Amino acid sequence: MALSMDSDRLHEECGVFGIYDFDGNDVASTIYYGLFALQHRGQESCGIAVSDTKGPKGKVISQKGMGLVNEVFTQESFEGMKGDIGVGHVRYSTAGASTRENAQPLVLNYVKGTLGLAHNGNLINANELREDLAYTGAIFQTTIDSEVIAYHIARERLNTHTVEDAVCRAAKKLKGAFSLVVMSPRKLIGARDPFGFKPLCIGKRENAYILASETCALETIGAEFVRDVLPGEVVTITPEGMKSDTSLCLPREQEARCIFEYIYFARPDSRIDGVSVYAARIRAGRFLAIDSPVEADLVVGVPESGNAAALGYAMESGIPYGNAFVKNGYVGRTFIKPKQSSRESSVRIKLNVLSDAVRGKRVIMIDDSIVRGTTSGRIVRMLRESGAAEVHVRISSPPFLWPCYFGTDIPEQKQLIACSRTVEEIRQVIGADTLGYLKIDRLSEMSEGLPICKGCFTGKYPMEPPAEDIRGDFER
């Protein structure tokens, strides 16, 4: 469930945003609003880089910092940020330490001027590529994949006519998940890995084109959705139009979108590859009602991400949907736990139960996942203490059993409750009356038949996983 900064959570890696305004308007503030809409995808650091396509070639102005969009940018940030093309990024670190050096976008100078890169996803051959580069004399100032990608673009650019060709050639060498936004002095380029792990969409507002991780960012800035970037596609946006290179695309059935975008990561008001995230969650709830029915008085979601599935369960079962929790929106990223404190539980600070809503009731509580089980157990206990007669837990995803190599920060297997326990044992641990998970074979229906990656449930990945753990440990 979505208690921000909760350690008992899965985490997304990043959100990306790019824009090119052909009318020459400054874009920094639009990127800022767009990043607000993508903030749920990463809260550790963020950054904006802009350039003026009509100014001195390749002069890039950027600002990056640790913290939320709200914390990093001030009114003054925008005073010097003149430019009609730009990229933005929000980050949660899976690969690369959590330091300011690793904040994105990566801004660099290369043989043809400047580049700005923002990247979402995880490469599984980054270490290998990094080592190859090192053996030709490369130096690395960050531990993020974007730097490896940038090097490859820079090298391919020596032998290509255009930057987009260099991006295509570089992309061929990358294994893993990448949704990439690249800004060159006169072009905005978007690229998505052939499996389409991570989302990337195209929008338009008047004479400006936008690339963004999710459609909710388009709605927030008042842009209309044009289409998704295809898995494997490289799109190049210039005033002359939008060009597409689909040479990396795979047959559709080999695509493998990350199902967790639908289950939990993406905002419910986004659509990914044509499928509504909200509707997918409603469907997951309906499937739970069909596959794991139980008699009860009330269906509630653990806020925020459990709400849609709870509503789906209620619709399907006919059991009333309601709210059982009050979430404290003021408990932010920087919440500290004073050393004095011993008796106060930080879960209680973030979430309280509406006793009057649940007292005496048989409650079905829908959450999106169980990772370690500790938070789920605490919430079940809170419901009981508030007078719930029964607590039936339904999870809108199958149990996690395997690591993710493509950008989701899943704890190691020994910490995953489902790796060492049966569903019945988990039920006992969290103290629920009954417990039901979404069935794996419901996932395809959930995503309306879109090919998805189920690796974290099945251990079968769309590509050979790396032999060793690839999470970097180089720290500055």
H or E segment to which residue 351 belongs: strand 351-353
Separation CA 316–CA 70 (nearest Å): 40
Instruction: Provide, rounded to whole angstroms, the least separation between the CB of residue 195 and a copy of itself.
Output: 25
Instruction: Provide, rounded to whole angstroms, the least separation between the CB of residue 39 and a copy of itself.
Output: 4
What is the residue type of 67?
A: G
Task: Write the interaction track for a copy of itself spanning residues 191-210; mark x where CB under 8 A is met and - where it is not.
Answer: --------------x-----
**Helix, coil or strand: residue 62:** strand
Separation CA 284–CA 262 (nearest Å): 10
With beta carbons less than 8 A apart as the criterion, state whether 92 and 13 touch. Answer: yes
Binding a copy of itself by CB under 8 A: which of 336, 360, 414, 467?
336
What is the residue type of 21?
A: D
56 binds a copy of itself (CB under 8 A): yes
With beta carbons less than 8 A apart as the criterion, state whether 410 and 471 touch. Answer: no
With beta carbons less than 8 A apart as the criterion, state whether 306 and 1 touch. Answer: yes
Listed residue (407, 470, 475, 403) closest to 131, CA to CA: 470
Separation CA 326–CA 384 (nearest Å): 16
What is the residue type of 2?
A: A
Whether residue 14 lies in the annotated active site: yes
Q: Nearer to a copy of itself by C-beta: 285 or 403?
A: 285
Which one of 183-191, 217-225, 227-235, 450-458 is the stretch in contact with a copy of itself (CB under 8 A)?
Answer: 217-225
Q: Nearer to a copy of itself by C-beta: 96 or 451?
A: 96
State the virtual CA torsion across 462, 463, 468, 473 in degrees, nearest 10: -80
Segment 250-289, which members bind a copy of itself (CB under 8 A)?
Answer: 267-269, 271, 276, 278-279
Q: Which two tokens stand for residue 416?
A: 């995953």
Separation CA 28–CA 15 (nearest Å): 16
Which one of 183-191, 212-220, 428-436, 447-455 is the stretch in contact with a copy of itself (CB under 8 A)?
Answer: 212-220
Q: Nearer to a copy of itself by C-beta: 23 or 240?
A: 23
Q: Nearer to a copy of itself by C-beta: 170 or 418?
A: 170
Binding a copy of itself by CB under 8 A: which of 134, 239, 412, 441?
134
Which one of 29-37, 366-374, 425-433, 451-459 is the stretch in contact with a copy of itself (CB under 8 A)?
Answer: 29-37
328 binds a copy of itself (CB under 8 A): yes
With beta carbons less than 8 A apart as the criterion, state whether 310 and 288 touch. Answer: no
Specify the pairing of strand 179-184 against strand 113-120.
antiparallel
Q: Nearer to a copy of itself by C-beta: 35 or 248?
A: 35
Binding a copy of itself by CB under 8 A: which of 62, 120, 236, 396?
62
370 binds a copy of itself (CB under 8 A): no
Binding a copy of itself by CB under 8 A: which of 10, 16, 19, 68?
68
Listed residue (246, 247, 260) closest to 198, CA to CA: 260
Binding a copy of itself by CB under 8 A: which of 226, 349, 389, 423?
349
108 binds a copy of itself (CB under 8 A): yes
Instruction: Provide, rounded to whole angstroms, the least separation between the CB of residue 311 and a copy of itself.
Output: 6
Instruction: Provide, rounded to whole angstroms, the least separation between the CB of residue 281 and a copy of itself.
Output: 10
161 binds a copy of itself (CB under 8 A): no
Q: How many CB atoms neighbour CB 27 within 10 A?
A: 28
What is the residue type of 417?
A: I
Which one of 178-186, 218-226, 250-258, 439-447 is the stretch in contact with a copy of itself (CB under 8 A)?
Answer: 218-226
Segment 70-99, which members bind a copy of itself (CB under 8 A)?
Answer: 70-71, 73-75, 77-79, 81
Separation CA 124–CA 129 (nearest Å): 10
- 162 in the Ramachandran plot: left (φ > 0), alpha (ψ -120 to 50) or beta? beta
Q: Which residues carry out catalysis? A: 14
